[in-house]
Every structure is written in structure tokens, then in C-alpha cells.
Amino acid sequence: MVTLSEENYLKAIYHLGKQGSVAVSTNAIAEKIESKASSVTDMIKKLAEKDLANYVKYQGVTLTESGRLAAALVVRKHRLWEVFLVEKLNFTWDEVHDVAEQLEHIKSLKLVNELDALLGFPTHDPHGDPIPDKEGNYTLIKSVNILEVEPGNEGVLAQVKDSSDVFLRYLDKNNLALGDKIKVLDFEPFDNSLTIETSSQKMIISNDVAKNLYISL
Amino acid sequence: MVTLSEENYLKAIYHLGKQGSVAVSTNAIAEKIESKASSVTDMIKKLAEKDLANYVKYQGVTLTESGRLAAALVVRKHRLWEVFLVEKLNFTWDEVHDVAEQLEHIKSLKLVNELDALLGFPTHDPHGDPIPDKEGNYTLIKSVNILEVEPGNEGVLAQVKDSSDVFLRYLDKNNLALGDKIKVLDFEPFDNSLTIETSSQKMIISNDVAKNLYISL
DNA sequence: GAATATTTTTAGACTTATCTAAAAATATTT
DNA sequence: AAATATTTTTAGATAAGTCTAAAAATATTC
């Protein structure tokens, strides 16, 4: 049995270490989970004991195959619930995170898979993040950060990296949504801002905003 | 903040004490929650401290108004999730309990109320139990145990008291479902069994089964 | 490459929720 | 109503998960 706390650590390692392949440091996990390094060390030992993580003192941690699968299943549940909340329960994309954070720990294989079916087997959540399948696999969308696009080129907004309320509400307020066609017009070296054009408007976005927008060409 | 454990105790007191009005004994709670009397005493003190329960040493416990409301909200969530699982996710009525037991602790007012709307504001769960509204109120269906019905009379199966897998599967196997019209034909004093007739069959049910069937006339 | 800074681990303490065993209060029996 | 039985509470222990402070290991700087 994997506890709620263990699941949260597995998820943190999974996200920080690119699905668990890259070694993750104690401090990085502590920061992500908002706990202390000493707590992380304790938990990592427990995960290693359960064969969910590979741990060498002072060398950081990676996930084992079963750890990676357990983490992917939590992420799968999180993202499916996010889709459910937006599509079926009228949540906005900035409201879903906290609730999905609770729902991701519900244990029932039937529940996840039926939910998946109810939603029509979605491949991405409301923020454009991919939803792992039952085996923990997903196909990456080949999207690039909008700052790497040469002025003159265009693409479709495919993913947003920051999922905080403020950022998502900024996008709503400025009429930017996943799936929108965006053309990059100009990069301003003075403040690293970007001028972009959508079907409805021409606008300037700050570097802080641009860093979080990913488009597929 | 009410913890998961506290919610389970509130629910037990709510159910054992007829929505919290009747004093409930320590041992009764321990049995319901499958814990020990000493653990119950500890928890009751905590609930009293938080003004969720009224507690006098050796005299049992009742719920305060805020305790009653908190308990009713947990029950509301439990029963709404059960309806969701059966109506939207193809669960059978004997599969819902364990999952609903987890889902009932998810904290989000918006979630409960949107779920309620998605399901069309149901008044009863798949076992015929009433679903409390936002204020914790519900209207009782006036149903009677089938053993109290005089032979010759008939009614509609409105509620089943036992919600264990085995019992619910027994009903499925024998084609008995909520809403079925049932006529009581004969009571057998030797083993207290009952002969009943539905639209599809005539059958004998044991006293153990009859005790759990409630019909509205 | 020695000195300093940072990161990580260890040791010990705290909280929540649980338990067992013993003591205290209440209920039941004769 | 005294003796016995049952219920409830208290006292002290345990496990999970967290913390602070100090020690140990690794990284960085001069």
C-alpha cells in the first residue's frame, strides 16, 4: 500500500526528474513539496525500502520502474479529474488544481478507467499537459516555447507551463486559450517582451508570460 | 479544519444517534468504526473541544448543531458520489460503497453542488437512502419494513437497509430492485420467512432478507 | 588544495491517531 | 444493597510523518 504522502513524493520526483530518469536532489524535492530536507531524506528511505526509488546517500534519487508507474498513475488520475471538473462540472481551468490534488489519491482502478471512458479518452488536460495511459505512457506533443519562435512564424497554443490561478486568469482576461492560433510578430531586446497576434487581437506579452507559453508549429 | 478521522466519527455518531439527537455510547461507536473504546474516548474529547459534539463523561455523546451539519454534509457527499458512480460510471450498487467512502472526504463546496446539478438533484442514493441538501435536511420517505405489512397488501421497494456486497448481489441475482412493486402473500411462523410476489415472479424470502427490505405503500 | 559554503543526513522531539492494560464509574444480578 | 459484571476512562506505548539543530559529506572559492 502506497500512502498519500508517499504518492506526493513519488509525483514530485517524477516531475522534477523528467518521469524519474534523472536523479533528483533532496533540496529540490523539499522545495517542491514545501517541506524540509530532513523530512525528504526520511521519506526517500521509505520509498527505497519499498522498491519504489533508487537511493544512494548524497547522490539524489531516481524512481524504479514500479515507482515510475505508481507516479504516472497519480498524474493520470490528477489530469483526468481536471478534465472532468472542467468539462462536466463547470470549473474554470484556474479552479481545478486544488480539488484534483485531492482526487488524485482516490484508490479504484475501475473509477479511473470509467472516468477515462466517460470523458472520451482525452489525451491532454485543460493546461495542455499529456495524460498518461494505464501503462503510464503518453505521446509528447512537440511544442516549443514561444520565445524560440522566429518572428513571422505562427503556431497553435498547445501548453501552458505555469498553472497558478493568477497566470491562468491573466490568460482568460486577455482572451488567450489553448488551441488559439498565435503569430509571433516581434521580439523586443530591451525588456525581452514579445509582440504577438491572434485571430482577435495584436498584443504585447512580457517575458515572464512568454516563458510559460508553448506552441506547436 | 475537520480531519478525515474526525469526519468518520461524526458520521458514525450521526448514523447511530438518528442524526445526532440521541446520545450514543462509546462502545457503539467503537464497534461501528472498528476501533477500540479508548480511541473513541480520545476522539470524542477532541470533537467536544471543537464544539462539534456534546460530551459528558460516562454519559455518551450527541452532536452539536455544527457537528450535525458537518456530518450531514459528509453523508450528502457520500450519497451523491454513489449516485454518480452508478449513473455515470457504470458501477453496480454493490461496488459503490468503498469508493464513496473515500470520495466523501474531498473538500470543495463547488464540487458537491456541481455534482448535485450534474446528477439532476437526486433525492435518494442507489440504496434508497435520502440525500441531505446543502443545509443538511432531507425529507423522509415513509417506508415500512416488509415484515410489518399484512399479507394481501402491496407496495414499492423503496429502501434496503443492509448495503453489503453479498446482500445486494443476492437481490440482483433474484431480480429484486428498488422501485419494484411487491405484494406480500404469506408469513410463515415456523421460520419467520415471507412469500412475496413481484411482476415477474413469486418467491420465498428468509427473515434475514425481509428484515432489510423497506417498502412504501 | 586548504578554507569556506552548501547540501544532505542523523539524532532527537512533537503531533495525530491508534493500541493495550489497568483503574474508575456505572449497571446488573442475586 | 452488596457483589459482580460491564462500560468507560486514564495512563502509557507505538507508528507515521513532520520538524529543529547539529554533524557529516560534498561543492565551491580563493
Q: Domain coordinates of chain A in residue numbers? A: 4-63, 143-216
Percent of chain A exceeding pLDDT 90 equals: 82
For the domain made up of A4-63, the CATH class stated in words is mainly alpha
Percent of chain B exceeding pLDDT 90 equals: 85
Say yes or no to pLDDT of B19 above 80. no
d(CA B36, CA B6): 15
CB contacts, 8 Å: A114 with chain B = 89-91
CA atoms within 13 A on the CB side of A159: 17
CB contacts, 8 Å: A103 with chain B = 103, 106
Q: What is the pLDDT of residue A73?
A: 97
C-beta atoms of B89 and A111 within 8 A: yes
Lowest mean pLDDT among A37-41, A87-91, A105-109, A199-203: A199-203
Q: Tally the residues of chain A.
A: 217
Residues in A whose CB is inside 8 Å of some CB of B read 85, 88-91, 95, 98-99, 102-103, 106-108, 110-111, 114-115, 118
Q: Which residue is nearest to nucleotide D24 (CA to C1')?
A: A58
DSSP labels, A111-153: HHHHHHHHTT--SB-TTS-B---TTS--PPP--EEGGGSPTT-
pLDDT in tens, A117-127: 999 999 999 99
Say which of A88, A102, A111 has its CB closest to residue B106.
A102
Interface with A, mutate which of B5, B84, B86, B89 (most A CBs under 10 A): B89
pLDDT in tens, B56-103: 999 999 999 999 999 999 999 999 999 999 999 999 989 999 999 999
Strand-pair partners of A194: A187, A205
Q: pLDDT confidence of A43, banded at 50, 70, 90?
A: very high
d(CA A66, CA B208): 46
CATH topology agreement for domains B4-63 and B143-216: no
CA atoms within 13 A on the CB side of A172: 13
Q: How far is A165 from chain B (nearest CA, A)?
A: 16
pTM of the model: 0.88
Gap from B58 CA to C27 C1', in Å? Answer: 12
**CATH architecture designation of domain B143-216:** Roll (2.30)
Q: How far is B77 from chain A (nearest CA, A)?
A: 14
Q: What is the pLDDT of residue B20?
A: 64
Span B104-126, average pLDDT: 96
Q: pLDDT confidence of A161, banded at 50, 70, 90?
A: confident
B26-33 vs B37-49: helix axis angle to the nearest 10?
Answer: 110
Say yes or no to pLDDT of A21 above 80. no
Closest CA to B182 of B139, B135, B149: B149
d(CA A85, CA A80): 9
Q: What is the pLDDT of residue A177?
A: 87
